[in-house]
Amino acid sequence: MVRLLIAAVLAAVAAAPAAAQPAKSPAAKPCADPEFHRLDFWVGRWDVYPTGKDKLVAHSLIEPVYGCGIRENWMPLSNSPGGSLSIYVPGEKRWEQFWIDSSGSRAFFTGGWNGQAMVITGKWGGPLVRMTYSRNPDGSVRQFGEQSTDEGKSWSPNFDFTYRPAAAATHP
């Protein structure tokens, strides 16, 4: 009888800390920070035009990657197709984009949200390139590229594209 009583007391004592502990909350999602979603406005199927013109120059498919980044599939009507991966890096407090295309060209860009647009800068071949992505009031997206041959002291326009929602019949 004493053994049974001791066993019951020991069991109750052993169970008490477990019962007193608060339930564990589910782990936070790794990319829940809103900063990971600053570029989500670029996600979609797009027909790409030089800004202010109606001549289609490319198709582009921009997809989310597991809620943590953005994958671009650039399909020009001429030249080299390519793509990029973009992600926010919390430890660096910046965005990074890596570009590669079918000609073997590659580039690495870093930057972030400036309050109105995503601005990233990096070496692409020889010059320094700065790209600005902004959402237009009509839902289209502008990608404005500038280049600098003096390490960022001065900038000149390099390209200017508007991404419009793709016409379903024309998009691969």
Homologous superfamily, domain 34-165: Calycin beta-barrel core domain (2.40.128.20)
pLDDT tens digits along 38-95: 999 999 999 999 999 999 999 999 999 999 999 999 999 988 899 999 999 999 999 9
Residue 5 in this model has a pLDDT that exceeds 70: no
48 membership: H or E segment, kind and range: strand 44-50
Which residues fall within 8 angstroms of residue 35, CB to CB, at 6 or more apart?
88, 90, 113
Residue 8 in this model has a pLDDT that exceeds 60: no
DSSP string, 67-98: TTEEEEEEEESSS--EEEEEEEETTTTEEEEE
Tokens of 123: 């070496």
Residue 171 in this model has a pLDDT that exceeds 70: no
Residue 13 in this model has a pLDDT that exceeds 90: no
| Phi, psi (degrees; rounded to nearest 5) at 114 | -100, 10
Confidence (pTM): 0.81
The residue ranges of every structural domain in the chain are 34-165
